[in-house]
Structure 1
Amino acid sequence: MSNPTQLGKTTRSSGLSLDEIINDPEAEIKDAATARTFLDQLYTIQGEPTTPEHISHALFYISQTKGVNNTLRSAIRATAYLVRELATSELTESIITAVSSKIEKSVVAAISPQVANILSAAENLEKTNENTRTASDNTIKRIESITNSPGHMDTSQLESHAHAAIKERQLLIDPDSNHPLLNNAATREATIDLIKQALETIDQVDGPDMQLKSIACLRNNGILLEFSNQEAVAWIKEPANKTAFLERLGGEVAIKDRHFNIVIPFLPITTETDKPETLREMENENNIPQGSIARIKWIK
């Protein structure tokens, strides 16, 4: 804030105070309006706004007026330079203010969607993490409940059940070594085609699905079929279906069941093990399905 004492200070070139000089009643220029009118007539462009830059230009022109001594010319030029510097400072500040405002608005407008997306993504990620933690906790609890349940089976038991289920879906065909079609010289494609034709002969509307999962040709000329279900194997083994199936294959072909060795202690030595009637009688006495016992032999 300006000091009133300084405003009334007497200048070096006269005995008048600054207030007396400004308010000189005999002066032609008494205010800003008369000052602008005077300058427009000689040094500035009429109608343009009065800026520090324009005033500095006017002062430089005034310093070139004839009759101005060197001291006065230097004073005018010094004032012009200072006003020019003031104009530059104001222009710089106005540019900085304008540019800063525009940059700020542009940056805010540019990053607002990204910020919103980031916040949304963060929220979704948090929800996903929470759901994952919940699912993980539930899975752990489920595993623990299964593991601790009385009927839980370990890995070896599960594998055993899986192998047993596969065996139930398998059927072993044993063609004679001299079979005209199913022999070592036959191509895999020809073997598959013949087996499919044989299956078609026993495929009925009321029968099970006869879809094959795999066909494996064994080294001993045997052919191992795996079906999609164990009902298909049981269907083929029925006497009528078995006969039709083997006849379609032609030649000498047999369906071999899986055999398991069982030791029977204390079997009387008088048992006629070589007679089929003995095997059937043993099956009847023990409620075993007919044909379950393939043969009996003595061990030492």
Structure 2
Amino acid sequence: MSGPPPAPHALGLGKTTRSNGFSLEEIINDPDTEIKDTESARLFLDQLYMIQGELATPEHISHALFYISQTKGVNNMLCSAIYTAAYLVKDLAVSMLTETTTRAASDKLETSVIAAISPQVVKILSTSENMMKINETAEMLSENITRKLKSLTCTTNSTDSDQLENKVQNLIADMGTIKSTLEDLKNYITTQQPAMLPMPYKDVLASKPSNPNQILLGKHFSPEYAKAHAAIRERQILIDTNALEAVDQINGPSMQLKSVTQLHNNGLLLKLNSQEAAAWIKEPANKATFLAKLGGEVLIKD
């Protein structure tokens, strides 16, 4: 089996300066270059600056640019241009991580709030439906009594005592029905849970059932259990939304957000793909762009 094709040679710098006046299309389609597409570009970087088989993330490309700037023969102006591109690509990587974190946290909070208020909404709708039925029954009885009273008034001029007695008995029965309906309404109201008012946002979040896999404070577990929990904590970051931290730019390894867990104190627990990624975010010099792009009052707790 033949080996992989040889990597293209490094590009000449003669046709890359803006002073030559070439258009972007002419530069991309330069017949003298051996880098024709993404595949040949990746092959070139794999053999010189990147690890073969790994995904070419913006962070990896940023690192490759920094290494390229150290190539022999790169003058100061070209080195500055490469540094500029490397920093912008690195900032793009941080922006992507921030966007992923924000979206995951928002989805988690939305799900928690909906789960917490759903039982209250069901109770309110049930109460409203029962009250409407009771009101319809009361209106119907009121109309019947009014009609029978009018009939009774007309009957008092008649000599038929039996008919008059029957109408009075019917009227008394309707009054008893009204009393029974009012008693049902009273019993229904008193048996309902009081004060179905909107819950404060903090109480809604706190009402979410706790994670059954969470290790509670004060409990003692086996050494193996404690070691496993410590390893998990090393790969997690606790974000407290009640503080404001202003910091600068980030630099570090490739990162991936694995999960977001909402805590009872309104904090968010982020799980990253490695211990190195968590340590990288926690370093004071590396919090900057991450926290700045999250916005609001956010603090990364150690």
TM-score (norm 2): 0.38
TM-score (norm 1): 0.38
Higher relative contact order (Cα pairs below 8 Å, separated by 6+ residues): 2
Q: Considering only CA atoms, is the larger Rg found in Structure 1 or Structure 2?
A: 1
